[in-house]
């Protein structure tokens, strides 16, 4: 009942105050599927309805111009009310700080953010609810990546200075808030970045559990060059844990080159103290409608007897039979050169000639490996959308 009241109040507020009309989207899908591996067949029905309310304030900021001022900014705010009762029976669910496009992919860079600070344009003291440490520059190509997690890292504040391409700051964070930080555990950190001209950026940071029982130490550094068509970056992360006494570090070199429109080449080299060896990978990708294709080759542990290789090839093609009908075929082959590899095909035929309706026939939507004796599913579906 409370959720229903909140829903009605929200719709009324947006409609009356912002003159915004809530939108309703819905879909119903009828599918018939055949599992080629088990021989099972059957129908499936799925329904979904969503009420969406979009606030007409996007990337809004309030700040001053002289002296000191309190500055606050909200970016990519997307308020979404979703009624999943048709499928789950759980009633209304709310996601009020969802990402802008609703895909919930954190790495898309579109999650809603609220930043607040006391500043004079150069110096700033953050008052955001979350101000902590983040080290993830050198991600592993395969396995053995170094996880840098400072224990006292719940929330905190930063004092920073930004001018002429230089940004430096110090951060203090606590393990919990004053109701739960029973041992008064804190971590301290510092970070800096500097933009050299238009193409080079240098950055680094360090954090230390100075007032925490673990006394963990984390650090990161990177240098990046970007001037089309070439990009080059070197990044490293390190982590020291005195109990037990361990020191882990990794480094990643990435070189990318845009050969031409749609054609990109990239080479990576990665080192981690966890596996004490080098992993490397080269890849070429091409994507210009209606064709997509790519190939990559990787090598792991090249200076040890446990040397391993990794090969991948994929290709896809979309053929427009007419304005409403598209045929799509895709296949991906991977191999570690120890067996017969993996082959995952996918085929679909889509037609939208019936208004509000998508008719689809597809093979292997669950990525079954045919070389492993798995042949996937064939599914025919009709989806009506509002």
Looking at the fold, whether 321 and 238 belong to one and the same domain comes out as: no
Residue 109, pLDDT score = 45
6 sits in which H/E element: helix 2-17
Looking at the fold, whether 1 and 108 belong to one and the same domain comes out as: yes
Residue 143, pLDDT score = 72
- Kindly state the tokens that stand for 273: 């103290």
Looking at the fold, whether 117 and 197 belong to one and the same domain comes out as: no
Residue 254: how many CB atoms within 10 A of its CB?
19
Residue 12, pLDDT score = 52
Looking at the fold, whether 283 and 245 belong to one and the same domain comes out as: no
Residue 94, pLDDT score = 47
Residue 237: how many CB atoms within 10 A of its CB?
25
Longest alpha-carbon distance in the chain? 74
Looking at the fold, whether 143 and 99 belong to one and the same domain comes out as: no
Domain that holds residue 201: 126-275
Q: Is the peptide bond before 288 cis (omega within 30 degrees of 0)?
A: no
3-state SS class at 372: helix
Looking at the fold, whether 90 and 220 belong to one and the same domain comes out as: no
Distance in angstroms (rounded) separating the CA atoms of residues 25 and 85: 14
* 207 domain residue, yes or no: yes
* 242 domain residue, yes or no: yes
Distance in angstroms (rounded) separating the CA atoms of residues 21 and 1: 23
CA distances from 278 to 130, 283, 305 (A): 36, 17, 13
* 347 domain residue, yes or no: yes
Total structural domains within the chain: 3
Looking at the fold, whether 287 and 360 belong to one and the same domain comes out as: yes
* 221 domain residue, yes or no: yes
Residue 158, pLDDT score = 92
Distance in angstroms (rounded) separating the CA atoms of residues 156 and 113: 16
Distance in angstroms (rounded) separating the CA atoms of residues 172 and 183: 16
3-state SS class at 220: strand
Looking at the fold, whether 73 and 192 belong to one and the same domain comes out as: no
Looking at the fold, whether 257 and 138 belong to one and the same domain comes out as: yes
Distance in angstroms (rounded) separating the CA atoms of residues 237 and 32: 50
The string of pLDDT tens digits covering residues 252-300 is 999 999 999 999 999 999 998 887 888 999 999 999 999 999 999 999 8
Domain boundary among 74, 106, 121: 121
- Kindly state the tokens that stand for 28: 């119903």
* Beta bridge mates, 277: 272
* 331 domain residue, yes or no: yes
* 178 domain residue, yes or no: yes
Q: Which residue has the tokens 């559990």?
A: 209
Backbone angles phi, psi at 368, to 5 degrees: -70, 145
Determine if the pTM surpasses 0.85: no
Looking at the fold, whether 234 and 312 belong to one and the same domain comes out as: no
CA dihedral 84, 88, 94, 100 (to 10 degrees): -60
Distance in angstroms (rounded) separating the CA atoms of residues 130 and 107: 18
Nearest partner of 305 among 269, 277, 282, judged by Cα? 277
* 42 domain residue, yes or no: no
Looking at the fold, whether 116 and 138 belong to one and the same domain comes out as: no
Distance in angstroms (rounded) separating the CA atoms of residues 352 and 324: 5
Looking at the fold, whether 245 and 131 belong to one and the same domain comes out as: yes
- The HSE-up count of residue 47 (CA atoms within 13 Å, CB side) is 8
* 44 domain residue, yes or no: no
Residue 303: how many CB atoms within 10 A of its CB?
9
**Cβ distance 333 to 316 under 8 Å?**
no
Cα angle at 67 between 64 and 70, to 5 degrees?
45
Domain boundary among 228, 256, 275: 275
Domain boundary among 253, 275, 297: 275
178's CB contacts (< 8 A; 6+ apart) are: none
Given a cut of 70, the residues of the chain with pLDDT beneath it are 1-21, 52-58, 60, 76-112, 129-130
């Amino acid at each position: 009942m409370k959720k229903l009241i909140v829903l009605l109040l929200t719709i009324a507020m947006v409609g009356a105050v912002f003159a915004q009309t809530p939108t309703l989207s819905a879909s119903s899908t009828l599918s018939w599927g055949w599992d080629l591996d088990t021989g099972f067949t059957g129908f499936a029905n799925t329904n979904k309805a969503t009420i969406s309310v979009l606030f007409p304030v996007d990337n809004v900021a309030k700040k001053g111009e002289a002296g000191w001022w309190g500055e606050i900014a909200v970016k990519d705010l997307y308020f979404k009310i979703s009624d999943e009762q048709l499928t789950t029976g759980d009633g209304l669910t709310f996601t009020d700080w969802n990402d802008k496009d609703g895909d919930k992919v954190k790495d898309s860079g579109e999650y809603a953010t609220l930043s607040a600070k006391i500043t004079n344009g150069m110096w700033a003291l953050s008052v955001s609810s979350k101000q902590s440490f983040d080290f993830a520059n050198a991600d592993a190509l395969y396995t053995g990546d170094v996880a840098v997690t400072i224990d006292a890292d719940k929330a905190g504040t930063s004092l920073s200075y930004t001018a002429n391409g230089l940004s430096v700051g110090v951060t203090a964070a606590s393990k919990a808030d004053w109701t739960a930080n029973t041992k008064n555990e804190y971590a301290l950190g510092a970070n800096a970045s500097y933009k050299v001209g238009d193409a080079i950026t240098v950055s680094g940071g360090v954090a230390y559990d100075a007032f925490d029982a673990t006394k963990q130490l984390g650090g990161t550094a990177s240098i990046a060059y970007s001037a089309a068509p070439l990009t080059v970056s070197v990044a490293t992360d390190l982590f020291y844990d005195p109990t037990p006494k361990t020191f882990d570090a990794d480094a990643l070199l990435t070189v990318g080159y845009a050969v031409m429109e749609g054609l990109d080449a990239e080479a990576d080299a990665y080192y981690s103290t966890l596996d004490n060896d080098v992993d490397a990978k080269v890849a070429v990708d091409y994507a210009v409608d209606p064709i997509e294709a790519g190939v990559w080759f990787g090598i792991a542990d090249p200076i040890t007897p446990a040397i391993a290789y990794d090969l991948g090839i994929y290709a896809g093609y979309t053929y427009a039979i007419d304005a409403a009908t598209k045929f799509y075929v895709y296949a991906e082959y991977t191999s570690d050169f120890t067996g017969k590899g993996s082959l995952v095909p996918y085929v679909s035929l889509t037609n939208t000639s019936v208004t509000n309706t998508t008719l689809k026939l597809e093979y292997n939507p669950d990525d079954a490996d045919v070389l492993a004796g798995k042949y996937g599913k064939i599914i025919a579906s009709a989806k009506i959308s509002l």
